Amino acid sequence: LAERIAEEADSPSESPDGWRMSLYMNAGLSTEIEMAGNSQSAGIGLYRTEIPFMLRERFPSEQEQVLLYRQILESAPTQPITMRTLDVGGDKPLPYFPISEENPFLGWRGVRLTLDHPEIFLVQVRAMLRASLGLNNLQIMLPMITSVSEVKEAKRLIDQAFYEIGDEIKGQDVILHKPLIGIMLEVPSVLYQLPQLARQVDFFSVGSNDLTQYLLAVDRNNSRVANLYNCYHPAVLSALYDIVKQADHHNIPVTVCGEIAGEPGGAILLMGMGYRKLSMNAYNLRKVNWLIRNVTLKESKRLLSCALTTTSHEEVFQHINEFLEHKG
C-alpha cells in the first residue's frame, strides 16, 4: 500500500466519482516551511505564527517578523498562505509574557489577548503586509473568535496597518495587495452567528481541536479526561456538518485545519459532509490524497450517515475501521 500511496502522490486529490478536494499544509516551524515548496499541497492552510514567538526570548521586532514571513510567503508565491495572528495563551505560553489564570483555556488567549494589546497585533499585521509587498498570496486568519465585535475590531486594526504601509511605500514601484481575511471557527458561539460572520470575512477555517474541547467541555491536554476528548463524538461531527452546510449556503469558503482533517477516517467523513478544503500536517498529505482518490463521494456519504446515527465516538470508530479495512 505504501508504494501505491507514493505512486499517486502527485496526482490530483479527486475521488473516482469526481469530488475535487484541495489539500493544504499546517506549518509553524521553519523546517515545515521548507517542505511547503516541494510538497504536493495547494498552499499553507494554517501557519501558526505563535510557534516562532514561543521559540524566542522576547517579542520579535517588526523587522524580524517581516524577514520570517517573507521567507514563508516566497516559499510558495503562487499559492495561498494563511497566516494566523498570534494565538498564545491557553496551552501556549510565551516565556517573556507570563499569564497566570485559573482557567487558561477560558481566559486570555488568541484575539482576546491581541485586541487588548493592539500594539502587538499591529506590529504583527504590519510585518505580514510588508512581507507581502509585490506578492499576492497572503491571507490573514483570526484565532479564538467568539463574537462579531472582535472581528470588526480586528478588521479595523488590519485596515489601519494597511493604510500605514500604503503611505510608507508611496512613490515606490511596489504593489501592496489587500489580503483575504478569515476567522477560525473553534468557539461554539460562532456556530450560531455564521450568517453575521459570513458577511464580515472572506473565509472560515474550522479549528476542530479547540471546537472539540469547547463543545465537550473537556480540556484538550488533561490526561484525566483524555478519554472524553474526542473529535469523533457525534456532537462534534454534527457541528462540523452544520458548519459546511451553512458556509455553502452563504457562499463562503471553509477549510478544516484541526487534526481530524489529516486522519483517514476524519478526511473521509469531512468529504461526505461536503468539505472541499482540508489542511493538515505535511506527513499526512500523501495518505489523505490517496484515500480521496480511492473512495467515492457516495461511499463517504454512506459512512457519514452511519456515523451520524451513532451515540458514541467508539461506535463511529467501529464504522470507520470496518470501512477502512474493506478499502485495504
Which residues sit at the interface with ligand PEP, rule CB under 6 A?
A: 46, 48, 87, 186, 207-210, 257-258
CB of 265 to ligand PEP, least distance (A): 17
Q: Which is nearer to ligand PEP, 160 or 209 (CB)?
A: 209
Instruction: Write each residue from 167 to 196 as x if it is in contact with Mg ion (CB under 5 A), else as -, in one continuous string.
Output: -------------------x----------
DSSP string, 155-220: HHHHHHHHHHHHHHTTTSS---PPPEEEEEE-SGGGGG-HHHHHTT-SEEEE-HHHHHHHHHT--T
Q: Which is nearer to ligand PEP, 189 or 309 (CB)?
A: 189
**The Cα angle at residue 181 between residues 147 and 141, in degrees rounded to 5:** 70
Cell of 62: 517588526
**78 CB-contact burial (10 Å; exposed 0-12 / middle 13-18 / buried 19+):** exposed
Closest by Cα among 223, 207, 204 to 215:
207
Q: Which is nearer to ligand PEP, 138 or 278 (CB)?
A: 278
CB of 186 to Mg ion, least distance (A): 5
Q: Which of ligand PEP, Mg ion, none does 48 bind, CB closer than 5 to 8 A by kind? A: ligand PEP
The answer to whether 121 and 156 are in contact (CB under 8 A) is no
Q: Which of Mg ion, ligand PEP, none does 263 bind, CB closer than 5 to 8 A by kind? A: none
Determine the Cα–Cα distance for residues 42 and 44; give it in Å rounded to an integer.
7
Q: Which is nearer to Mg ion, 6 or 235 (CB)?
A: 235
210 binds Mg ion (CB under 5 A): yes
90 binds Mg ion (CB under 5 A): no
* Residues near Mg ion (CB under 5 A): 186, 207, 210
